[in-house]
Amino acid sequence: MAQHLLSRMSGTGSALPARRVENEDVAKLLGKDPAYIFRVSGIRARHWVDSHEDCSSLAEQASLRAFAQAGLTPHDIDAIIVSTTSPDMPFPSTACLLQARLGISGIPAFDCSASCSGFLYGLSMADAFLRVGQFKRCLVVASEVKSRTLDPEDLSTAILFGDGAGAVILERSTNPDHGILSIRLHSNGEHHDLVKISGGGSRQPLSQEVLDSRAHTLRIQGSKLFRIAIRQLRQAIIDHVEAEKWDLSDLDQCIFHQANARMISHLCRTLGIPSERCVAIMEEMGNTSSASLPMALDFAHRHDRLKKGSRILLGSFGGGLTWGTALIHWG
């Protein structure tokens, strides 16, 4: 009888640029009190890249840390998936650039773009590859350099976003008691205007007009996004947990996209999840878009918050709109 194939995480890693940007630094650009920035976002600092850093260099650092933790080398993997909405360049993919940095070739490498939910989208694809037996191990990375798309005079974005990368090694498993139980993905394109960079693509090619209007920078309709995202993600969590015959009280750790402290607090409060079971790292890192979820996962892993057999919930939402959840038996 054929074995039922599953996938499990054997290593995690993350990376931050060295340059730390305090609220005081951002406040000077906006003419705001640093205390105000923390009050509305829960963020005290974020990290922004310097001129020699980019999306693929952060991805490389996070990947090497995941390999080291798993006791593997880049030559041990069969595919690379990179989530990003801030690639090194429009093409080739950041995944191919990462592949070259890692010194490997021949295996498939490609990007996925699902905004802040991109890590779960990439993880879902890797999980499917492993479950059907196509690959044995996949490297899934989310890497973002949002600082280079920010308008320093836009309060809604300049205070929130940081740069960083997170990576996981996903490998084939036949142990039904450990690994990814299931991943659910969702989107609603009717709300595509809530988070966007409208300029620089085929609809509005880069031009002086685009630059003058700052259409090449990130824009958010924060209040509306907050209401819709919270409602959709909360219901998705409830539905997913119930479908797998779990209970919210069974969850040992909840790791959400690190959008801002208010969103995470609201989710925990309305779902009845104690704060000590929820991982929060945005205070020192800001919102790193799709990288925030694997970075928070790596933080929890390295701080011994993920025990063998723990029931873990991952949840994210982002531009598109996109959102998703994953349930994991850690081990």
Q: Where are the beta strands (DSSP E) in 150-201?
A: 163-173, 179-187, 195-196
Looking at residue 4, what is its pLDDT?
Answer: 82
Looking at residue 113, what is its pLDDT?
Answer: 96
Structure-token pair, residue 172: 């084939």
Question: pLDDT in tens for each of the 331 residues of the chain?
Answer: 346 889 999 999 999 999 999 999 999 888 889 999 999 999 999 999 999 999 999 999 999 999 999 999 999 999 999 999 999 999 999 999 999 999 999 999 999 999 999 999 999 999 999 999 999 999 999 999 999 999 988 988 999 999 999 999 999 999 888 999 999 999 999 999 999 999 999 999 999 999 999 999 999 998 899 899 999 999 999 999 999 999 999 999 999 999 988 889 999 999 999 999 999 999 999 999 999 999 999 999 999 999 999 999 999 999 999 999 999 999 8
Mind telling me the catalytic residues?
116, 257, 287
pTM for the structure as a whole: 0.96
Q: Which domains does the chain have, with CATH numbers?
A: 6-177 (3.40.47.10), 180-329 (3.40.47.10)
Structure-token pair, residue 285: 């890192």
Is residue 114 a contact partner of residue 149, using CB atoms and an 8 Å limit?
no
Query: Of the candidates 257, 259, 240, which has an alpha carbon nearest to the alpha carbon of residue 248?
Result: 240
Neighbours of 22 (CB within 10 A): 12
Say if strands 179-187 and 322-329 run parallel, antiparallel, or are unpaired. antiparallel
Beta bridge partners of 183: 326
**Euclidean distance between CA atoms 135 and 123, whole angstroms:** 14
Q: Where are the beta strands (DSSP E) in the chain?
A: 6-15, 20-22, 45-47, 79-83, 109-112, 137-145, 163-173, 179-187, 195-196, 219-220, 253-256, 278-279, 311-318, 322-329
Structure-token pair, residue 254: 């909840």
